[in-house]
Structure 1
């Protein structure tokens, strides 16, 4: 409750960023504020080097380049999909860990893509010109078309990835150009038992004793990619009070949403999502009891579900705190009052708040068919996902680039084909489980008498239909998927594969509800959020940072403890503390490698640390660097107080949680014998 009260106080303060708050874009970083607070001013050269040394995992995580030979550091849970996909019942790398002793032993990940941000261009004028004076569907189509044109002109080869990024909810548009790496190979991963030590009970908690790390390598032309910019390793790490920077890709925040948008999250979206995930967790837990192989290939899904429940619960508790929410209402009322003092501004800006509210009312009305028919809630599983990609990809690629669904624009196709041609194993039993569960939820939420439900199920039960589709399809074969993709619309239309036919059967319904959402919700919301953003610009300009958008941001802070329940929580733990915390029983069981290595370890070595850096989901895998631009840690979590950080930041108790750089080297060297990696990190031959 102290956390929520603090958030309430912060929301009532001036709108500009406070203290160590802020997920700043690299082209608007407040170097002067850092100098005032910590006596260090990052230079343009320092910032450019940090930008180019940072990396993004396109699937939703952050990372960093840590050697000139393309070595990349990220979290174990960020590379978990690769580790699991490379595992078998006989060689479970999730359980036992993985280490490539030589370069030749590094194994290609089926689906991971790594991006390096190389250029940021302001395209606000071009985007505003394209949408000037337009409303509704015309606005949406013009915006989508302008984005597609700018991205296509930028992306001159598949080695690049270009994205138009909406900042300040439409106040600014930037074009981000990335260098794209799709040949990514696994180098090192510890055992899951230490990568997620403490399990769900310790998730989003501190103190922590967790080695949540993986190393991968990017290749170019079959050889390790040569990187001019990369982060060097700090010889000493950091101690309490030291300045820290986190360079990563926060996924999304909602600190600048209108009250009607927050009300929709509080009253509709978050409760429904929490209930749904809780049901899925129960079903997954039962599925895992079928046998060790079932448990192995569903572990990642269960991990992400449990993580999602805890994260969303924190957001929900923040929005349901009356004092905090009322402070957000007062903040918006104050903004409206300032605008209302000028009749011209009142006419220009105030109607946008009502328009956004109407879009949220429409979203509430259509949310269930949108989620269960179009957004995948009713058709879970890799096989259906592949089938829909083939059906829609065949159709969309016959259209002009600017008229396509966004996920099939030219600049997005390399990511689509990487997933579609993936050699990752598909488990039929798990596919039946996922599709059965989602079809059951489809019927439950839309109703047994709903015409679409009747169309889909007919006289069959969800399990009967799921079993029939999964057992009948041949789409588990990546060669077939590649053949259909390359054959285009004609090949897909001619296919008699039951999963393809099913995806084709439900596609018109999905497109119809999507069109209504785009025309009546998304277009209205984007257009009027942009107007609200411009209203804020009248007051703030760019003195504050935009909401997170899974684009590269830099935050600053320090290694610092905090008060919790009347006690001081120290910001650093030690390796020795992990042995003290271990019980020998999951999830507090240390792996055998750690128990065997205990006599060799310096138990006083710093293990995990807490900092005041402002982060959110998506920052997982972000490097923590010092004023010299050297690696001092690896972000993997936040504390429980940080879960309300989607809506506000409290420097008193919000903490980012990272593995200390000293622990990383100690473990690699003295536990895993990974001297090859240690030498590479330290720049030794």
Structure 2
């Protein structure tokens, strides 16, 4: 177990911290903040910060930081964009990028940005649609109503609407977003500086990374106006300062049942960890083959290493007996309160047994679903395009509420963006991924399995992968566009080997997905909703709902912690970064930093630790002060924060951010990015007052 996680169990018995909670904007505990810190955000303050926040649809957060559509996020959040723009002759991932003018800003092929503009409660409507239904009927009705509500809301391609589940189905809201699909790269540092310290420093602190990037949203071929933006603070954050983080935490399971947590610990996480470990080994071997292979796969390797470390931290948290002991105690106390409330008791009648049976069914079908329904057997972007084209041809002919979710009217703009953006797809990586997937398919289901035989025939996995990748034309966006616009007739007539494979396996992959959705997902969703309603009936909404990659606001302070007797400071400095440099990766400072040594005072803050309650998805979130001004940029958490998916431990759980002063200092003195610096420092009107 990691040293930072050793004290996890001992701290779980502590009362809930004031900082705990990823709060929705319509239920932020402003009075609680005032009681703790003497500051109460007004509604105008909350609205300004909400509208200044941005979601990157690929799984990250960001923020508007100028009135001209300039958006700040993490380098690792737009690494895919930089990779798409990189070539062997112009390695932007290695050397970084800086646009000296608007004309030089380069479009990110696959990045979509969303700004939350409206929230509407639709709980009654969703409950009416599913009233009295169970199992597959419940799930089908829920999905149909979701598609109907979202479709009516999404009135154009510049609008995105999502039905959001809160409190595991205790509440539903419709979130309406302003959608930007023209996002252009403005500034990015070197990959080595954004990820300084590599996997060794990942989820650790002290940290010295400069995980910063700027993009800009455009509309009608001009920078979009963004009047609701977060101005840069004139004074940086100091230890003990009250700060807020506005972002999109991806997912927590703090209100899951003990049975679900045990399933994660015993079944789901071990399988995923094993797969990631194998992928890491495969990618390490591949990247060592040549400089060109390293260039192609370094980002993917970093992502796999990050996932492996993050999930290992979750596994260790669930393996701590104290955590499950606390969860069992909390569940037992909840059952007592439910039993004492006739309405809540009726809601949950038989629920615990049903959940257990659904998880057992999930255990039995997991291998089949992972390979077929979830697509683990087909680890290829080219195949993903083929499957999307095949399914779109079928799904578009159905009424909107009856389609698979990703093909409903509200979701199609995002799908079209993925299919119709011109970005390179490295054939060697595609072959590697498909080979890995085909080998795992045969290993998992067995050589005699009918589906395995249908996919592989008499081919060896590597040979089949090479043949498919060499034979397909789907790497050409013009080919994909012709098939998309040609519809079912064009797709059915296509002899492209990837399309042929996608057609051949479509019925079985659909069937596997449907089996999971009808027998596992449906039961867990409905029972989660039943338990949530019972929880709300006996406890109210005193706590924040679990994270769902929707906009949340939390508060905390700049603060270090005690790591088993070792005091960990809240701030690191530029001087510390130079002291950590070894001249060799992953602790090698890039040339611009070495040349700038001495231009920035050694004591200038670089990174900072805070008590804010965050999780994956918060990457790229702005850190703001009482005035709603930017003082930092979230990019990571420490090792104890990995257990934050299940419980928040105030004594040791820390978010990690790039300090606002450090961001500006490096932009100006290391990179000479005066265009960005001037835009960030531009005078603005006073922020909305607080009371």
- Shorter chain as denominator, the TM-score bin is over 0.9
**1:344 to partner: Cα distance:** 5.6
568 and 11 in structure 1: CA distance in 2 versus 1, 3 angstrom threshold: closer
CA distance in 1, matches of 2:547, 2:342: 32
**1:683 to partner: Cα distance:** 1.0
CA distance in 2, matches of 1:123, 1:7: 38
**1:10 to partner: Cα distance:** 6.5
Q: 1:124-153 deviations in whole A, cap 9, x for unaligned?
A: 010000000011111111101111111011
356 and 200 in structure 1: CA distance in 2 versus 1, 3 angstrom threshold: same
**1:455 to partner: Cα distance:** 1.2
* SS of residue paired to 1:314: helix
Q: Which residue of 2 aligns with 1:532?
A: 531
Q: 1:217-238 deviations in whole A, cap 9, x for unaligned?
A: 0001110000110000001111
Q: Which residue of 2 aligns with 1:355?
A: 354
**1:346 to partner: Cα distance:** 3.0
CA contact (8 A) 1:31 1:41 kept: yes
CA distance in 2, matches of 1:339, 1:669: 59
CA distance in 2, matches of 1:538, 1:166: 17
* SS of residue paired to 1:614: coil
* SS of residue paired to 2:116: strand
Is residue 237 from structure 1 mapped to residue 236 from structure 2 by the alignment? Answer: yes
Q: Which runs of 5+ in 2 are unaligned?
A: 685-691
Q: Which residue of 2 aligns with 1:447?
A: 446
**1:28 to partner: Cα distance:** 0.6
Equivalence map 1:633-652=2 (5 Å): 633-652=632-651
CA distance in 1, matches of 2:612, 2:305: 24
CA distance in 1, matches of 2:682, 2:139: 50
**1:436 to partner: Cα distance:** 0.4
CA distance in 2, matches of 1:353, 1:29: 31
Q: Which residue of 1 aligns with 2:327?
A: 328
* SS of residue paired to 2:546: coil
CA distance in 2, matches of 1:60, 1:578: 29
CA contact (8 A) 1:270 1:312 kept: yes
**1:684 to partner: Cα distance:** 5.5
**1:11 to partner: Cα distance:** 5.5
Q: Which residue of 1 aligns with 2:688?
A: none
**1:347 to partner: Cα distance:** 3.8
CA distance in 2, matches of 1:155, 1:615: 30
Q: Which residue of 2 aligns with 1:337?
A: 336
CA contact (8 A) 1:353 1:532 kept: no
CA distance in 2, matches of 1:289, 1:22: 43
Q: Which residue of 1 aligns with 2:279?
A: 280
* SS of residue paired to 2:152: helix
Equivalence map 1:68-217=2 (5 Å): 68-217=67-216
**1:290 to partner: Cα distance:** 2.0
Q: 1:143-170 deviations in whole A, cap 9, x for unaligned?
A: 0111111101111000000000011000
**1:565 to partner: Cα distance:** 2.2
CA distance in 2, matches of 1:264, 1:428: 37
**1:89 to partner: Cα distance:** 0.4
Equivalence map 1:248-327=2 (5 Å): 248-327=247-326
398 and 627 in structure 1: CA distance in 2 versus 1, 3 angstrom threshold: same
**1:464 to partner: Cα distance:** 1.2
CA contact (8 A) 1:161 1:180 kept: yes
Q: 1:256-287 deviations in whole A, cap 9, x for unaligned?
A: 10111111100001011001000000000111
CA distance in 1, matches of 2:106, 2:341: 63
**1:423 to partner: Cα distance:** 0.9
Q: Which residue of 2 aligns with 1:658?
A: 657
* SS of residue paired to 2:350: helix
CA distance in 1, matches of 2:131, 2:4: 42
* SS of residue paired to 2:410: helix
CA contact (8 A) 1:4 1:324 kept: no
Is residue 411 from structure 1 mapped to residue 410 from structure 2 by the alignment? Answer: yes
**1:5 to partner: Cα distance:** 7.4
**1:495 to partner: Cα distance:** 0.8
* SS of residue paired to 2:524: helix
**1:181 to partner: Cα distance:** 0.3
CA distance in 2, matches of 1:6, 1:345: 36
CA contact (8 A) 1:573 1:607 kept: yes
Q: Which residue of 2 aligns with 1:377?
A: 376
Q: 1:574-620 deviations in whole A, cap 9, x for unaligned?
A: 11110001111100000010000113222211110000000000000
**1:13 to partner: Cα distance:** 6.7
Q: How many residues align?
A: 683
Q: Which residue of 2 aligns with 1:564?
A: 563
* SS of residue paired to 2:372: helix
Is residue 552 from structure 1 mapped to residue 535 from structure 2 by the alignment? Answer: no
Q: Which residue of 2 aligns with 1:48?
A: 47
CA contact (8 A) 1:388 1:503 kept: yes
CA contact (8 A) 2:372 2:513 kept: no
**1:91 to partner: Cα distance:** 0.7
**1:8 to partner: Cα distance:** 4.5
Q: Which residue of 2 aligns with 1:346?
A: 345
CA distance in 2, matches of 1:344, 1:546: 21
* SS of residue paired to 1:119: strand
**1:508 to partner: Cα distance:** 0.5
CA distance in 2, matches of 1:70, 1:629: 18
Q: 1:413-434 deviations in whole A, cap 9, x for unaligned?
A: 0100111112110111111111
CA distance in 1, matches of 2:345, 2:108: 54
**1:457 to partner: Cα distance:** 0.9
Given the two structures, how large is their TM-score scaled by the length of structure 2? 0.97
CA distance in 2, matches of 1:157, 1:677: 32
261 and 517 in structure 1: CA distance in 2 versus 1, 3 angstrom threshold: same
* SS of residue paired to 2:255: coil
Given the two structures, how large is their TM-score scaled by the length of structure 1? 0.98
CA contact (8 A) 2:11 2:651 kept: no
Q: Which residue of 2 aligns with 1:676?
A: 675
585 and 4 in structure 1: CA distance in 2 versus 1, 3 angstrom threshold: closer
* SS of residue paired to 1:466: helix
CA contact (8 A) 1:12 1:328 kept: no
CA distance in 1, matches of 2:526, 2:561: 41
384 and 273 in structure 1: CA distance in 2 versus 1, 3 angstrom threshold: same
**1:348 to partner: Cα distance:** 3.1
CA distance in 2, matches of 1:214, 1:5: 34
CA distance in 2, matches of 1:552, 1:353: 31
Q: 1:184-232 deviations in whole A, cap 9, x for unaligned?
A: 0000000111111100000000001111000000001110000110000
CA contact (8 A) 1:6 1:650 kept: no
Equivalence map 1:473-552=2 (5 Å): 473-552=472-551
Q: Which runs of 5+ in 1 are unaligned?
A: none
**1:7 to partner: Cα distance:** 5.0
414 and 206 in structure 1: CA distance in 2 versus 1, 3 angstrom threshold: same
CA contact (8 A) 2:9 2:321 kept: no
**1:501 to partner: Cα distance:** 0.5
Q: Which residue of 2 aligns with 1:36?
A: 35
* SS of residue paired to 2:175: strand
CA distance in 1, matches of 2:243, 2:49: 13
CA distance in 2, matches of 1:603, 1:6: 33
CA distance in 2, matches of 1:644, 1:477: 43
CA contact (8 A) 2:344 2:538 kept: no
CA distance in 2, matches of 1:590, 1:253: 35
CA contact (8 A) 2:611 2:650 kept: yes
Q: 1:396-427 deviations in whole A, cap 9, x for unaligned?
A: 11100000000111000010011111211011
**1:528 to partner: Cα distance:** 0.7
CA distance in 2, matches of 1:208, 1:428: 36
